[in-house]
Amino acid sequence: MVIWRRDERGGAFDTHCLYFFEVAKAEDGWHISAITQKVLWNDGDPTVHAGVPDVTSAGGRVSA
């Protein structure tokens, strides 16, 4: 999956990721009980998305 983000300045920050779903059987059928996101990589300007930590100081990589 790709999450496409754009801001009002035209900046872009895209997240390439996988989602893993856990399900549980209930009386009325199956329900999602947990969702886990595994980020594979990000592209663009991380300031577009406030939820992104400063990876440059943590030794991570954000490709442009």
4 CA to centre of own chain: 10
pLDDT of residue 54: 63
How many other C-beta atoms can be found within 10 angstroms of the C-beta atom of residue 45? 17
pLDDT of residue 40: 96
pLDDT of residue 59: 47
Helix/strand/coil for 61: coil
State phi, psi for 58 to the nearest 5 degrees.
Answer: -100, 5
What's the start-to-end Cα distance of the chain, in Å?
18
Q: How many residues are given for the chain?
A: 64
> How do the pLDDT tens digits run along the chain, 64 residues long?
999 999 999 999 999 999 999 999 999 999 999 999 999 999 999 999 887 766 554 444 544 4
State phi, psi for 59 to the nearest 5 degrees.
Answer: 85, 10
pLDDT of residue 52: 74
pLDDT of residue 64: 43
